Every structure is written in C-alpha cells, then in structure tokens.
Amino acid sequence: MSTSNQITRWYIIYMILFIVSCNQRKAPQSAQSESGHKHTLISTENNVSLSDWSLSSEDLGLKGQSWSVNMVELKGGKQDGVHLIEVDNGRMKLSVIPTRGMSIYSVEYKDIVLGWDSQVKEIVNPKLVNLESNNGLGWLDGFNEWMVRCGIEFAGHPGLDQGRFLTLHGRIGNIPASEVEVIIDETPPYRIRVRGRVNEVSDDGPNLELLTEVSTEPGSNSLRIDDVLTNRSNKDQEFMVIYHGNFGPPLLEQGSQLFGTIEKVVAFDEFSLEKVNNWDIYDAPTLGIAERVNCLYPFADDQGMAHFILQNQSGDKAVSFTYPIDQLPFITQWKNMDSDRYVTGLEPGTGFPHNRSIERKYGRVPILGPGDSRKFNLEYTIHADPVEIKSKIEEIQRIGRRGFEIATTVIDK
C-alpha cells in the first residue's frame, strides 16, 4: 500500500473516531429502549453527573414540532452546583431542579408564567439550607419554586411530634435526586419525560423512595406530574405529601378568581375566617398584610377527578389542573396578599399543613406498609383563550352543580 493510501485510511479512521467521541460527549449513557430514547444525566449507581448536556428533535431526526432539552450546572452564589433541566416543547418552557428534589422552578407559555416573585432570587443549593434554623422555618431560605413537594415523612408546620421536633414542610424538597434521566418516546407525539429518583432515608428512620416524572408533549400547553412513592423499609411508615403549587402575576391580581369542584371550605384560623366567604376572590397586593389560609374539601367527577382553574381578573389568562381525588383528598389554599411576596398557593395533598401531630389526630396521616407504593398524578394546563377558559369554568360548574358549604368556624385542630 502506498504512503498516500495509508494516510487516507488513517484519516478516515480518525474522523470516524472523532465523530463517535463527539456523540458520546453530547449524550453519554444514552440508549434506545422499549421506553424510548433514554439519556442518563445523573446516576449515583454509575457515578455520572453531567455539567452541561443538550438534546433536540433535530438530533434524533424527528419530524414535526421542534423541541429541545438542556441541563446546565449553575455557578456562583447560593446556586453554585445546582443542576437545572430546561425543557422547551416548542410552545411551552419548563425548568426542573434535580438538586432540589425534582421541584419545578417555573413554567412559561406565551406571556403567562407559572411561578412567583419570591424574595429568594437564586435557586439555592440545599447544602446552604439549614432546615432547623429560625425555629424550624429554615425551609423558607430556599423557597421560590412554582411546584415544590412538601413531605414526605412529614409536612406542615414546625413543632413537636411525639417528642421529636419536625421542621417546616419536611425534607424532600432539599434532597438532590440520585438518578435522573430524560426519555423521549419512540412514537408520535414523542412525549418528553424527565424522570428522577429521590430517596428520603435515614438509618433507623424512614426509607422512602420517590420516583417522579415530569412530562409534556411537543407543542402542548400542558404538563403532567406522575409520581410513585414506595416504602422500602420492613415496617409500616407514615407519610405526608403536599404538592405546593405557587402562582403569582399575571395570573394573580386583584379580581383573580378560583373555581373548583368543592363540597366544603373551612378557614385555617381566626384571621382567615374573617374573609372566608370571599375565599375564591383575590385582593390587590397590600404591604404587610398577614396570610390567609383555607382548607378545601374537593369532590370528584364521574371519573374520580377533581378540577380547579385559577383565572385572572379579565378572564383571558388561566391555569387549570386536575387529579384523582382518592390520591390527594384535600387541597390547601394559601392567600398571601403581601406585596413583598404576592402569591397564592394551591396545594393538593394527603392532608392539611398542620404539624403531623395534629394531622394524625384527625386521620390525615396515611401509612405505607413494607414495600407498598402510592401513586400521585396531576395535570396542569395553561390557557390563553377566553373562550376556552369560560368553557372550562362552565364544566367545573356543571360538575359542582350541587353547591358547597362554607363553614362558620375554623378547622378542628
């Protein structure tokens, strides 16, 4: 073989190896399986933690609506070392935080944002959150997400329970995910799935595993949360789960209104009782006003689903959500009209946000047997069409035609 042919041959081999190397750097640990195109981003089992990664419909040669998924590692300040996964489905954008228990930082569709303007501006690394500080309110030092799960061993207000001091809203929102992967369905509509595993475990304590999936379809204005909670211990385990969804402007403003399939509204405390008859209407931001909280008892449609929608004053922006009522039989409405942190929390849960000692007293602390699991499935849709919003409200009113009760006393505790 001539020298020139040898050079050509080695050049071709080099280029093939270079292309393969580039592809491996772009999406290591990836595979196409029965569940779709799978890409591992974080894995304690395989010692994998990517700093920067991206994937798009063009990378997979998929036709139709363009989409992309990116993971970045944030730098500087209190957010240093935090992983953020950004999904752009071509119409809607959402951000998942694996470092903070797979919370969802925000969702954007057109000029509507699911999220709020917390005084906490950075996505805080859990290493810098001391849950026991400020008399058990340290959880607030990192609280700025649109959707954060409260729990899972316990949730609710800080305080003593059977001689143990419990901090605000539990630990799961400040536990980094141990396994994270992105899966793209092999067949249309090519649903984009961000999956994670978060373990709340302590020697001689709970051994709870949360498998969570946040997903959306390309071009959609909806997203799903599909979670499975499993007790990995050999003994019964109490648990509490609250899906703490937080909504600020532009959905929240003076005159915004909440509709839902509700059978009963009960004020959380005496201050909330003063305006419980206006539970569904929101006031303008007012500096220094205390929060009001209502406990809502939803009921289900013929398929077992609860329905809610929050619309702005003019009725041209809204978010609706639905979920099986047997999974999350209660929902807390947090109305914080303080202009420093103007937000409403709409929080489906296994109970209300009292300390576990109180919730247990009223039978709102469920138990998982050894190896048992419980599913939680929620779907959120952002609406920018007044006709569509009106139709959704009318559907809720048809389901709820029997009316509902507003209690004249605060909830028992």
Give, for 358, the enclosing helix (H) or strand (E): helix 356-361
Buried b (16+ CB within 10 A) or exposed e, 204-226: eebbbbbbbbbbbbbebbbbbbb
Q: What is the pLDDT of residue 35?
A: 65
| CA gap 341, 290 in Å, rounded | 11
| 30-410 topology per CATH | Beta-galactosidase; Chain A, domain 5 (2.70.98)
- In the three-class reduction of DSSP (H, G, I as helix; E, B as strand; rest coil), residue 54 is classed as strand
Q: What is the pLDDT of residue 77?
A: 98
44: left (phi over 0), alpha (psi -120 to 50) or beta: alpha
What pTM value is reported for the model?
0.91
Q: Which of 18-27, 39-48, 381-390 has the lowest mean pLDDT?
A: 18-27
Q: Kindly state the average pLDDT of the residues 40-44.
A: 98
pLDDT digits (tens, 9 = 90+) for 179-222: 999 999 999 999 999 999 999 999 989 999 999 999 999 999 99
Asked whether the beta carbons of 103 and 176 are under 8 A apart, the reply is no
Strands (E), 4-89: 30-33, 36-43, 48-49, 53-56, 68-73, 83-88
Percent of the chain with pLDDT over 70: 91
Asked whether the beta carbons of 82 and 99 are under 8 A apart, the reply is yes
- In the three-class reduction of DSSP (H, G, I as helix; E, B as strand; rest coil), residue 103 is classed as strand
Averaged pLDDT score across all residues of the chain: 92
Asked whether the beta carbons of 293 and 332 are under 8 A apart, the reply is yes
pLDDT of 377 strictly over 90: yes
Asked whether the beta carbons of 390 and 396 are under 8 A apart, the reply is no
Can you give 130-156 as a three-state secondary structure string? Answer: CCCHHHHCHHHHHCCCCEEEEEECCCC
Q: What is the pLDDT of residue 21?
A: 41
pLDDT of 29 strictly over 60: no
Q: Which of 33-37, 149-153, 236-240, 269-273 has the lowest mean pLDDT?
A: 33-37
What is the pLDDT confidence band of residue 19, given thresholds at 50, 70 and 90?
Answer: very low
- What phi and psi, each to the nearest 5 degrees, are found at residue 154? -155, 160
- 12 bridge partner residues: none
| CA gap 404, 396 in Å, rounded | 13
User: How far apart, in Å, are the Cα atoms of 18 and each of 12, 21, 59, 295?
Assistant: 10, 5, 17, 60
Q: What is the pLDDT of residue 18?
A: 41
Torsion angle defined by CA atoms of residues 53, 173, 227 and 99, in that order, rounded to the nearest 10 degrees: 10
Domain ranges of the chain: 30-410
Give, for 25, the enclosing helix (H) or strand (E): helix 3-26
Asked whether the beta carbons of 283 and 254 are under 8 A apart, the reply is yes
Q: Is the dihedral of CA 405, 408, 412, 413 positive or negative?
A: positive
Q: What is the pLDDT of residue 36?
A: 84
Q: What is the pLDDT of residue 170?
A: 98
What is the pLDDT confidence band of residue 9, given thresholds at 50, 70 and 90?
Answer: low
Buried b (16+ CB within 10 A) or exposed e, 305-327: bbbbbbbbbebebbbbbbbbbeb
Q: Kindly state the average pLDDT of the residues 118-129.
A: 98
Residue for token pair 């067949």: 187
pLDDT digits (tens, 9 = 90+) for 74-122: 999 999 999 999 999 999 999 999 999 999 999 999 999 999 999 999 9
pLDDT of 305 strictly over 60: yes
Hey, how many other C-beta atoms are within 10 angstroms of the C-beta on 92? 24
Is 9 or 269 the better-scoring residue by pLDDT?
269
Asked whether the beta carbons of 183 and 27 are under 8 A apart, the reply is no
Asked whether the beta carbons of 362 and 202 are under 8 A apart, the reply is no
Asked whether the beta carbons of 54 and 70 are under 8 A apart, the reply is yes
pLDDT of 27 strictly over 60: no
